[in-house]
Structure 1
């Protein structure tokens, strides 16, 4: 018999504000959202939310789950993602990627880590490829990776406008995106291309050119790090007004901010004020990635590690400090990334959706409880997750 949980007296943001409701969870799915629901004690567990906000579990579209190769040499290689950190931060779905280092960090390693996280209760998908072109794959081609490997949903993060990029031509971008798109159509996946955008003057020009010179929809490309500077943000707003999605990176450092980057929360507000459609904007953490700050001559100045907790932190900062509408800010970390990634059962609270839920104290704006696929993984400020080697 499937486990049944009734959560009562929560203010449900689905992300639209449903007011105070009860939510019935059966197994790993949401069964019902209504008022005055009751559950006999013999059938399952009843939890009183006591007026807490209930949000969908956060969808983090860019996480270096297996760690990354630091640009400060081998000693700066970053660690793998610990699922307890994700659960404590309200994140219930992650997309694993490779970055600069696709030599000592491999797709085989990424795939193994993704499967491990998924078995531990954290919904985990991944992209084929890395910064480099030609795209490295598991099976020998982008098309068969997406079609035949269950948890591969796209390609990324392929780098453009960056001194670490392989500088693919427009036709090479079109070819990769076309293969990914066809594979996605055949497999019922997004086939999206996650694009790392650096600070070089080209900005998004390669993507605009690829769309102009082909029949590809602009939504096939999903550029990230769009809060790197004000010029790139402005170009990103143009991209959204043409129908595309853009992503802002939540993890940062004071040194990187001093070099011209905008906080993701500030970028979200500025993009909305500039006319970007609210349903085309997302935030991601870039967790476990190396946060690098380079001089104008390309020399490395500083390096730190991205944190999965930054995603909820920037959502909260967007609401509290930047005065972004609560629902718009919540969409940017739930429904919007789920939509661009083709994750139909993620990012919202509704019957038949995955039971990924985050309960937040309305006074302190702190996370109380987190449920992932119907299981409480974080409760009353404490992790309940127990891995194979946990004590």
Structure 2
């Protein structure tokens, strides 16, 4: 199957002007002005008044569901295919969180495989909040080397009362295991870090890189927009060469308690000299977002939304006047680079055909192509998950 997108303003993420984009099977075959094809087998998409950008790469989604904050009945649901595709997300990385007892790694891998069959690119992390890390094979290194879907370990929790209070030695050991697995397999071998609001902030990560040979690039801390103090600590982490990630799913209570909306946090970092190369956003989709009363009692439970990632992307551009190139890097190019997904996060020949076509003015999504297949047309899903 050939698909030809005509007369579209292309951001690769750098601006390429008005071009045609030819897709063959699941890859971009050619990008140039005025590509001419006469075959009746070509699916032509009119890109007039649209912009093309790489599909979004969401580095943290609880694709198989997560544990709730109020007992077994509050476990959050699995992610469905269209929760991603309707919002321009064409690559997801699944994780376990607090609950690695009723939510398991085999189920996580199976869900990732299912999403790949249904139409998007899905990977996952071994491990969970706690150390020693839960694994399938008995080894973090072996999981990453031998299980295709697994590209790192996470989300390992620090500065959080639900964490295992990892020591420098314990975190360095799991980082070394993940790094070795990544080197052998050609994967990222990343350690994805859940950062809580505890007083130690990112100090444990600094202790590891200052006292071992493990570089800052081995760690990928998220939830850095929890509060202003943690955001400042995150900026300091970027000065050490690290990348920081902001979480786009939130609720009113979190904001009232000091959480900074992800787009606001990214804009603040850019204003303070951090480059888009060191910044990203993820949705924390399908995570539980608890609501408590004044006495600390659970009174409600919301669920993180994958769609919040594209909403934050729009806010970056339309509300904070961040350039499209920088905004695309934050939601696609930077996470793809950190996760060593070399065919993602860019629009160029031989890269994966993961493309979002948006209205030039509103940035509303019109079309989405994932792995070369047209999955959203005129804002509606034309490919759905098996049980949708």
Same fold, TM exceeding 0.5?
Answer: yes
Corresponding residue to 2:368 among 364, 367, 370: 370
Deviations 1:148-184 (A, max 9, x none): 1111000000000001101111100000000100110
Q: 1:301 to 1:158 in 2, by over 3 A?
A: farther
Instruction: Give 3-state SS (helix, strand or coil) of 2:28's partner.
Output: strand
- Residue pairs, 1:201-216, within 5 angstroms: 201-216=199-214
Q: Do residues 263 (structure 1) and 261 (structure 2) align?
A: yes
Instruction: Give 3-state SS (helix, strand or coil) of 2:37's partner.
Output: coil
Q: Select between 143-152 and 71-80 the one with higher mean Cα deviation.
A: 71-80
Alignment RMSD (CA, Å): 1.4
Aligned length: 388
Instruction: Give 3-state SS (helix, strand or coil) of 2:179's partner.
Output: helix
CA contact (8 A) 2:90 2:121 kept: yes
CA contact (8 A) 1:265 1:317 kept: yes
**What are structure 2's unaligned runs of at least 5 residues?**
none
Counterpart for residue 142 of structure 2: 144
CA contact (8 A) 2:191 2:219 kept: yes
CA contact (8 A) 2:127 2:154 kept: yes
Counterpart for residue 167 of structure 1: 165
TM-score by length of 2: 0.97
Instruction: Give 3-state SS (helix, strand or coil) of 2:361's partner.
Output: coil
Segments of 4+ moved more than 2 angstroms: 292-303, 386-390
Distance 2:350 2:333 in 1: 15
TM-score by length of 1: 0.97
Deviations 1:89-117 (A, max 9, x none): 00000000001100000001101101000
Distance 1:296 1:142 in 2: 41
Distance 1:78 1:271 in 2: 32
CA contact (8 A) 1:211 1:218 kept: yes
Deviations 1:361-381 (A, max 9, x none): 112221000000110111011
Distance 1:281 1:17 in 2: 20
Counterpart for residue 28 of structure 2: 30
Distance 1:335 1:210 in 2: 27
Instruction: Give 3-state SS (helix, strand or coil) of 1:332's partner.
Output: helix
Counterpart for residue 355 of structure 1: 353
CA contact (8 A) 1:20 1:51 kept: no
Instruction: Give 3-state SS (helix, strand or coil) of 1:59's partner.
Output: strand
Distance 2:165 2:291 in 1: 20
Counterpart for residue 281 of structure 1: 279
Distance 2:301 2:173 in 1: 34
Distance 1:347 1:297 in 2: 45
- Residue pairs, 1:198-347, within 5 angstroms: 198-292=196-290, 300=298, 302-347=300-345
Question: What is the Cα deviation at residue 301 of structure 1?
Answer: 6.0
